[in-house]
């Protein structure tokens, strides 16, 4: 049976702990008891953990053998801010798929009230990513950066930087990824509702980004984010890179 995996709140040598609501969920919802074993992600390593003590808002573990980790692709998602309910869904699903970092960006077509509220929303996005990472048995949640203006986001450094554009006439995402299977960090830029403005695409091009398409159909922003993430991670890990 696959053991439930938790991301430890505290780690010290061969001991770890879950605290606060994290611990309460384990005790009250899953009825955890002393002696039960779970997988604990601790300091970027997954180890088998046995519960040694349960107190108010705290569950303590003794750590044992290291559990082999799965191959992880290094994919950053530059995600233009769009309607928060849909954006949260995209963050959750892209976390489950394995993105290593999500950078929200304010684009030309980002609604003004969403742009102004995005800074305060970042902490909620981090909680969503943490919960999704734990549910999907990841070792760590993705980094959720503070929202950036597009001019700053264009400067993000990566080994392969791809902007997804409906107007791209020829190159598909798979076409662009094919010769770069051993790329270090891959950055995918996903536009807001309505897509990137034409002058924004020109800025991407001048900054050295490669344009790619997800196909002939027009996708919602959250669908595009999930599809692009799934395709990229599949391509980058297909040969064990």
Distances in Å between the Cα of 9 and the Cα atoms of 17, 22, 38, 103 are 6, 8, 14, 24
Same domain, 99 and 19: no
Q: Phi and psi of 239, rounded to 5°? A: -105, 20
Q: What is the CA 170 to chain-centroid distance, rounded?
A: 28
Higher pLDDT, 43 or 57: 57
CA angle 193, 226, 83 (to 5 degrees): 30
Q: How far apart are CA 137 and CA 13, in angstroms?
A: 22
Q: What is the mean pLDDT of residues 20-39?
A: 88
What percentage of the chain carries pLDDT values higher than 90?
Answer: 66
Residue burial 140-162, b: 16+ Cβ < 10 Å; e: rest: ebbebbebbebeebbebebebbb
Tokens of 124: 């909620």
Q: What is the pLDDT of residue 241?
A: 43
Same domain, 170 and 217: yes
- The structure's pTM equals 0.82
Q: Tens digits of per-residue pLDDT, 215-230?
A: 888 899 999 999 999 9
Q: Tens digits of per-residue pLDDT, 164-209?
A: 998 888 899 999 998 876 668 999 999 999 999 999 999 999 999 9
Same domain, 40 and 129: no
Same domain, 36 and 80: no
| Closest by Cα among 28, 30, 25, 6 to 17 | 6
Structural domain harbouring 62: 5-66
Supply the CATH number for residue 46's domain: 2.40.240.20
In this structure, of 35-44, 77-86, 110-119, 185-194, the range with the lowest mean pLDDT score is 35-44
């Amino acid at each position: 049976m696959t053991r439930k995996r938790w991301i430890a709140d505290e780690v010290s040598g061969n001991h770890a702990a879950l605290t606060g609501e994290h611990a309460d969920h384990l005790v009250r919802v899953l009825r955890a008891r002393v002696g039960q074993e779970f997988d604990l992600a601790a300091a970027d390593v997954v180890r088998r953990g046995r519960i040694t003590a349960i107190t108010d808002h705290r569950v303590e573990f003794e750590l044992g053998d290291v559990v082999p980790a799965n191959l992880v692709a290094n994919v950053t998602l530059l995600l233009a801010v769009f309607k928060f309910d849909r954006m949260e869904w995209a963050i959750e699903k892209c976390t489950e798929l394995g993105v290593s970092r999500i950078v929200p960006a304010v684009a030309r077509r980002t609604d003004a009230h969403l742009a102004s509220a995005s800074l305060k929303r970042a902490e909620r996005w981090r909680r969503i990513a943490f919960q999704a990472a734990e549910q999907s048995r990841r070792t760590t949640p993705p980094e959720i950066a503070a929202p950036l203006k597009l001019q700053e986001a264009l400067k993000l450094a990566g080994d392969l930087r791809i902007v997804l554009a409906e107007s791209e006439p020829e190159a598909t995402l798979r076409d662009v990824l094919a010769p770069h299977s051993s790329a270090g960090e891959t950055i995918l830029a996903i536009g807001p509702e309505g897509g990137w403005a034409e002058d924004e695409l020109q800025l991407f091009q001048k900054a050295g980004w490669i344009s790619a398409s997800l196909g002939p159909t027009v996708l919602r922003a959250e669908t595009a984010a999930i599809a692009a993430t799934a395709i990229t991670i599949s391509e980058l890990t297909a040969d064990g890179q």
